[in-house]
């Protein structure tokens, strides 16, 4: 899979995409992630990628041209399944969406900045708009990193079978069961006896019951698709 991220601030994406599972997936060549600087697509001598908004207002808007040129260049090299714009008013990211995106071959993620991107880009080039939640961040770089992380950990081979993403929250519309590690007793806080029993079928049953109980209590709408 290939993910191309377009941004005016590539530095913001360096750390989130270079550690842990995402880094290992990149090292194993399961995913190719390219962070592309939109300033490389401007002819402006100051490398500006933003301008004042028509109609007035102090906060700048991302200009069409650098974004258009970057997307057209990528599209001339390969076909893309989705061209995503990160936006607070987009579809809310969830696990089902991440599952679907993880099965794609090539995607572009455009990270917005300033007041957002010139709306004509959204109307003519973007195929999908994704929000990471109902709050406004300063830029789309962290949302792009979050979307990428959610996708990459689902690519087969990115995480081992034991850590399988199938047991994570939201797969099967259930929250994950609680997890514990050594020591089995800390002060008077004990790990549930069942986890120390070595009885795998009973442990699996307990975990499933815990998942169901936690889902009912903490996220009762989850099974109904809310």
Residues that bind ligand SAM (CB under 6 A): 86-89, 111-113, 115-116, 131-133, 135-140, 143
Burial (CB count <10 Å: 0-12, 13-18, 19+), residue 28: exposed
Nearest approach, Cβ of residue 189 and ligand SAM (Å): 37
Nearest to ligand SAM of 74, 121 (CB atom): 121
Sequence-distant (6+) residues with CB within 8 A of 62 are 8, 38, 49, 50, 112, 113, 114, 116, 117, 118, 121
Q: Where are the beta strands (DSSP E) in the chain?
A: 2-7, 32-37, 50-51, 61-62, 82-92, 106-110, 128-131, 185-186, 189-190
H or E stretch covering 27 = helix 20-27
Nearest to ligand SAM of 88, 212 (CB atom): 88
Nearest approach, Cβ of residue 30 and ligand SAM (Å): 25
- Joined together, the tokens standing for residue 135 give 């709050």
Nearest approach, Cβ of residue 148 and ligand SAM (Å): 13
Nearest to ligand SAM of 28, 119 (CB atom): 119
Nearest approach, Cβ of residue 129 and ligand SAM (Å): 8
Nearest approach, Cβ of residue 165 and ligand SAM (Å): 22
Burial (CB count <10 Å: 0-12, 13-18, 19+), residue 164: exposed
Nearest to ligand SAM of 60, 222 (CB atom): 60
Vertex 26 angle, CA 20 and 30, to 5°? 120
Nearest to ligand SAM of 54, 135 (CB atom): 135
Separation of alpha carbons 79 and 30, rounded Å? 18
User: Crossing angle for the helix pair 141-152 and 95-102, nearest 10 degrees?
Assistant: 70
Nearest to ligand SAM of 113, 174 (CB atom): 113
Nearest approach, Cβ of residue 137 and ligand SAM (Å): 4
């Amino acid at each position: 899979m290939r993910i191309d991220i377009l941004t005016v601030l590539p530095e913001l994406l360096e750390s989130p995409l270079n550690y842990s599972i995402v880094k290992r997936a990149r090292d194993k060549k399961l995913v190719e992630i390219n962070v592309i600087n939109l300033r490389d697509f401007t002819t402006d001598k100051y490398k500006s990628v933003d301008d004042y908004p028509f109609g007035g207002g102090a906060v700048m808007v991302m200009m069409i041209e650098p974004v258009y040129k970057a997307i057209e260049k990528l599209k001339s090299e390969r076909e893309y399944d989705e061209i995503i714009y990160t936006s607070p008013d987009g579809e809310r990211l969830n696990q089902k969406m991440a599952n679907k995106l993880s099965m794609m071959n090539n995607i572009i993620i455009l990270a917005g900045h300033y007041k957002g991107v010139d709306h004509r880009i959204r109307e003519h080039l973007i195929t999908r708009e994704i929000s990471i939640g109902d709050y406004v961040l300063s830029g789309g770089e962290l949302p792009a990193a979050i979307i990428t992380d959610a996708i990459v950990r689902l690519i087969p081979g990115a995480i081992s079978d034991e850590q399988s993403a199938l047991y994570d929250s939201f797969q099967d519309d259930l929250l994950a069961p609680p997890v514990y590690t050594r020591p089995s007793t800390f002060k008077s806080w004990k790990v549930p006896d069942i986890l120390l029993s070595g009885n795998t079928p009973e442990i699996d049953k307990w975990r499933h019951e815990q998942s169901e109980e936690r889902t009912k209590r903490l996220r009762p709408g989850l099974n109904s698709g809310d």
